[in-house]
Amino acid sequence: MRQRTKRILFGYSLLIFAFFYVPIIILMMFSFNDSKIGTVWTGFTFDWYVKLFSNTQMFGALQNSLYIAVITTVLATILGTMAALVFHRYNFPGKKAIDFLFYIPVVIPDIVVAVALLAIYGFLDMTLGLITAIPGHVAISISFVMFVVLARLAGLDDSLEEAAKDLGANEWQTFWRITFPLIFPGVLAGALLAFTISIDEFVISFFTTGPGSNTLPVLVYSMVRLGVSPEINALSTIMILLIVIAVLFTGRKMISPNKKGEE
């Protein structure tokens, strides 16, 4: 009975992995397809990668997305980490109510945030552009960073901070030399999550960026309406490879200090 259960779980796991990764593998394969039709294989070619690197419009949109994502990541990581430290360490009036407010961006539809921001910008008579997209991205990213850092803080041994203070370290020295190195994996994980959310965000970007300020998801959406171009497959393949490399590099950096500490 136990062996049968293991086989069922193993088969179920294979189906889940296939559901997630087979479409990605197919997408990467068809980025080398010689045909413009994404469902018919006619031969192997690198032409779509050559055309992609000469597509200034797509690279301009990618630059806009990276610009927004980097600023969003920095702001959301700083504010989310500070919020996590406050909620972990202090008790104050209205703490539960404020804590509840941080859950709202996680469950609220992006369209609500987008329309609300658009209404505010219209009331303030602001010109839409890349800058007007950043507040929305930060608003939906802070909560995710805070929850990840809070999970890391939950396993933090407070006696280490107390020992540092007993040895003469002040609050600032204790934070940078003891607390921050210990919670850094959580901060880094939150930053990566904020970056991923921002660069992938479509709805808020669609509503809050002005003409000529397209982000990559908005541009891809406009291109897909006319048919999926193999250039999109090529761009997706490059982004997948870069993300895999970044995750492996980050994971190695996060694991290495722990191994050294164990030794």
pLDDT tier for residue 142 given thresholds of 50, 70 and 90: very high
Task: Return all residues near 139 (Cβ < 8 A) that are at least 6 apart.
Answer: 105, 113
Structure tokens at 146: 């805070």
Q: Is the pLDDT of residue 254 over 70?
A: no
Rounded-to-integer distance, Cα 31 and Cα 33, Å: 6
Backbone Cα Rg of the chain: 23
Per the structure, how many domains does the chain have?
A: 1
Query: Does residue 19 form part of some domain?
Result: no
Range of the domain at 231: 56-262
What is the model's pLDDT at position 78?
Answer: 94
**Tokens 């996060």 — which residue?**
254
Query: Does residue 164 form part of some domain?
Result: yes
Contact 51, 36 (CB under 8 A): no
Question: For residue range 52-66, what is the model confidence (pLDDT) as tens digits?
Answer: 888 888 888 888 999
What is the model's pLDDT at position 227?
Answer: 66
What is the model's pLDDT at position 253?
Answer: 59
Query: Does residue 166 form part of some domain?
Result: yes
What is the model's pLDDT at position 29?
Answer: 87
**Tokens 């070619």 — which residue?**
45
Q: Please, what is the end-to-end C-alpha distance for the chain in angstroms? A: 41
CATH number, domain with residue 219: 1.10.3720.10
Query: Does residue 172 form part of some domain?
Result: yes
Contact 154, 106 (CB under 8 A): no
Structure tokens at 201: 């965000």
Amino acid at 31: S
Query: Does residue 28 form part of some domain?
Result: no
Query: Does residue 3 form part of some domain?
Result: no
Rounded-to-integer distance, Cα 185 and Cα 187, Å: 5
Winning range, highest mean pLDDT, from 33-37, 88-92, 172-176, 204-208: 204-208
Q: Is the pLDDT of residue 252 over 80?
A: no
Q: To the nearest 10°, report the CA torsion of 17, 253, 235, 105.
A: 70
Structure tokens at 162: 């107390």
What is the rounded average pLDDT of the residues 74-102?
A: 88
Name the average pLDDT for the chain.
84
Contact 218, 205 (CB under 8 A): yes
Query: Does residue 70 form part of some domain?
Result: yes
- Residues of the chain with pLDDT > 90, as a percent, come to 24
What is the model's pLDDT at position 38?
Answer: 61
**Tokens 């709805």 — which residue?**
203
Q: Is the pLDDT of residue 201 over 70?
A: yes
